[in-house]
Amino acid sequence: MQEKVKIGIIICDRYRRCAGGKCFRSLKNREGAFSRYKNREVEAVGFTTCDGCPGGNVEYAVEEMKGNGAEVIHLATGLVVGYPPCPHITYFHDFITTQYGLEVVYGTHPIPQKYLNTHDQLGTWDDPEWQKIIQPTLADKETRLSYN
């Protein structure tokens, strides 16, 4: 097994009361965007919100996470599936990689089927950039249903 990787997770502020159940379940099961760690030990060193639009906490929280050893920052699936999805998500990605030199991954847990259905109907993710963003959190239908 490779060396342990330390991660931080940033969630959308509209879900600020979220205890992280789906994120931590998918981390434990190596599902969704966490499937990339299939053969690695992972330690979560930070979990916080963006602090609401336009995401002022991203500037400071990532610095603290990096100080705790974070090597990868996950922008939680809630930023992707919310109605509407986070309008700042690509900026967060670019800012974190530029400012802190950390790898940034879009998503945490698999996209729940009910969100995929609605966003398909809305055409939310038809743009090629959004197709790239949702890719790490797409899973088979059975897994998506288990996250409803």
pLDDT tens-digit map of 7-58: 999 999 999 999 999 999 999 999 999 999 999 999 999 999 999 999 999 9
Domains belonging to the chain, first-starting first, are 2-142 (3.40.50)
pLDDT tens-digit map of 57-100: 999 999 999 999 999 999 999 999 999 999 999 999 999 999 99
Q: Helices marked H in 10-146 — which ranges?
A: 21-29, 57-67, 77-81, 89-100, 113-122, 128-134, 141-146
At 3 the pLDDT is 82
Q: Which residues pair with 103 in a beta bridge?
A: 72
Task: Return d(Cα 141, Cα 148) in angstroms, integer.
Answer: 11
At 1 the pLDDT is 53
Contact 11, 77 (CB under 8 A): no
Contact 51, 83 (CB under 8 A): no
